[in-house]
Chains A and B, each alone.
Chain A
Amino acid sequence: MTATCIDPSEIREGDLAAYADGEADERVRRHVRRCAHCAALVARYAHTDHTLRAGLYRAACPPAETLARWQLHILSPEEELRVAAHVRACPHCQRECMELEAAGDSAMSLLLDHLKDVTSWLVASRTAAPQPVRGGVPPQQRYRTAELDIFVGTIVVQTQRQLRGRIRPPIPGATVWLMPPDAPPRNCQTDITGYFIFPDVPPGKYSLGFAWQGRAVFLRDVDV
Chain B
Amino acid sequence: MTDATYSLSSLDVDELATRCREMSTRAQPIALDPCHELFRRAIAHDDQQAWAALYTQYKALALHTGRASHLDPLEQDSLVNETFARFSNWVRTPAFTRAFPPMAVLIATLKKCARSTAIDHHRRWEHQQRVAAEATLAHPQTPQSSGDAVIDALFDRERVAFLRRRLQDDAERLVFTLSWELGFTPKEIAARHADIFPNTGAVYRVKERILRRLSEDPTVQAWNL
Binding site for B on A (CB under 8 A): 12-18, 20-21, 23, 41, 44-61, 63-65, 67-69, 71-74, 89-92, 96, 99-100, 103-105, 108-109, 111-112, 115-116, 118-121, 123, 125, 146, 218, 220
Contacts and interface: CB of A to CB of B under 8 A. Distances in A.
B21 interface: no
Interface in B189-214: 200-209, 211-212, 214
A125 B98 CA distance: 22
A147 B108 CA distance: 25
B120 A51 contact: no
B93 A67 contact: no
B174 to A, nearest CB: 10
Interface in B16-39: 31
A73 B138 contact: no
B114 to A, nearest CB: 7
Contacts of A119: 98-99
Interface string B105-127: 10111011111110110010001
A69 B115 contact: no
Contact of B112 (A14, A90, A104): A104
B162 interface: no
Interface string B134-175: 110110000000000011101100001001000000000000
Interface of B: 2, 31, 65, 86, 90, 93, 95-96, 98-102, 104-105, 107-109, 111-117, 119-120, 123, 127, 130-131, 133-135, 137-138, 150-152, 154-155, 160, 163, 177, 179-183, 185-186, 200-209, 211-212, 214-215, 225
Nearest to B122: A64
Nearest to B217: A48
Nearest to B201: A14
Contact of B205 (A13, A23, A60, A91): A13
B112 A68 contact: yes
A15 B201 CA distance: 8
A46 B137 contact: yes
B204 A51 contact: no
5 contacts: A58-B123, A58-B183, A103-B112, A104-B108, A104-B112
B208 A72 contact: no
Given A65-B116, A118-B99, 8 more contacts: A14-B207, A18-B200, A49-B211, A64-B123, A104-B112, A105-B104, A119-B98, A220-B104
Given A49-B211, A55-B151, A103-B111, A21 B105 contact: no
Given A44-B215, A64-B123, A54 B182 contact: no
A9 B163 CA distance: 31
Given A48-B215, A54-B130, A121-B105, A104 B208 contact: no
Nearest to A217: B102
Which of A44, A46, A57, A218 has the most chain B CB within a 10 Å cutoff?
A: A57
A64 B160 contact: no
Contacts of B225: 47-48, 51
A67 B115 CA distance: 11
B158 to A, nearest CB: 13
A112 B209 CA distance: 47
Contacts of B137: 46, 50
Contacts of B203: 14
Contacts of A146: 2
B182 A92 contact: yes
A53 B113 CA distance: 29
Given A46-B137, A50-B138, A100 B90 contact: no
Given A47-B225, A218-B104, A57 B111 contact: no
A52 B180 contact: yes
